[in-house]
Structure 1
Amino acid sequence: MGWKELFRQRIQLDILSGGHVLTDKHIPVPIRNASLVKGDKPGEVITELPFADKKRWHLARIEWAKSGQRSAGKAAGGAIAGTIVAGPLGGIAGAAVGGRRKDTSKAFVYLIGEDGVECKLHIHCDQKQYVMISAMLG
């Protein structure tokens, strides 16, 4: 591996489904993690998996669905803990901290292989990752 490859932008993917298309090897368990690396050409990306060969793709598009959820149980627990430690104002602060929104956003990443076939990955994807992957579209 040369210096150029070491400093390429890498995005860690948390794969929900579709990971099997990233390698030609038969892997008996679902593929849940991979890296997406910017290629040399506009729109070119390389997928890297542990114990598998790298594969080159053309990044066709990404569709992002922003979502999040709050945990009422954690908010209540934070309110109780805050009240015990710091009184009524601590309860308000504890509820705010305990009930923070958890990012559950997901995206579909569409990749076109060297054979011209389009494949789809479903991934966990926060806004930062979405922007980074979108920048690879070229």
Structure 2
Amino acid sequence: MSWKSMFRQRITLDILSGGHVLTDKMIPVPIRHASLVKGDKPGEVITELPFADKKRWTLVNIEWSQSGKRSAGKAAGGAIAGTLVAGPLAGIAGAAVGGRRKDISKAYVYLVGEDGVEHALHIHCDQKQYVMISAMLG
């Protein structure tokens, strides 16, 4: 194993659908996690799964949909707790902390296999992951 291959960029994917194409093995449960590793050639990526062979792909595109949600219940709970403990100003701070935005962004990652067939992975993908995957495009 070369030094270069030991320090390749690796991105952990949280897969929503499409993970079955990442291996030729018959796995009885849906594949929910995999790693995406930058290959040697422009646009080349390698997928790694536990207990499965690595597969080489060409990364052709990524489509990202930014989304987030706030929990009104947690904001209200934080406001009540803050007010009870330290007064009205703490209630405002408690509402801000309790109602933080949760990133629920998703993306489609388009991969072309060695057989020339394009496949799509639907994944959870925050902005940092999107930038890292986009940098792997050829």
The TM-score range, normalised by the shorter chain, is over 0.9
3-state secondary structure, aligned to 1:108: strand
Which deviates the most, 80-89 or 57-66? 80-89
Q: Which amino acid aligns with 2:82?
A: G
**1:55 matched residue in structure 2:** 55
Q: Give the structure-2-normalised TM-score.
A: 0.98
In the TM superposition, what are the counterparts of 1:36-51 in structure 2 within 5 Å?
A: 36-51=36-51
Aligned CA-pair RMSD: 0.7
Cα separation, 2, equivalents of 1:5 and 1:29: 30
Which deviates the most, 31-40 or 76-85? 76-85
Structure 1: gaps (5+ residues): none
Per-residue deviation, 1:4 = 2.1
Per-residue deviation, 1:81 = 1.1
Cα separation, 2, equivalents of 1:85 and 1:34: 44
**1:116 matched residue in structure 2:** 116
In the TM superposition, what are the counterparts of 1:24-35 in structure 2 within 5 Å?
A: 24-35=24-35
In the TM superposition, what are the counterparts of 1:1-138 in structure 2 within 5 Å?
A: 1-138=1-138
Q: Give the structure-1-normalised TM-score.
A: 0.98
3-state secondary structure, aligned to 1:95: helix
Which deviates the most, 9-18 or 80-89? 80-89
1:61-91 CA-to-partner distances (Å, cap 9, x unmatched) read 0000000000001001111111122100000
3-state secondary structure, aligned to 1:50: coil
State the identity as a percent. 86
Per-residue deviation, 1:6 = 1.9
Residues matched between the structures, number: 138
Per-residue deviation, 1:3 = 2.5
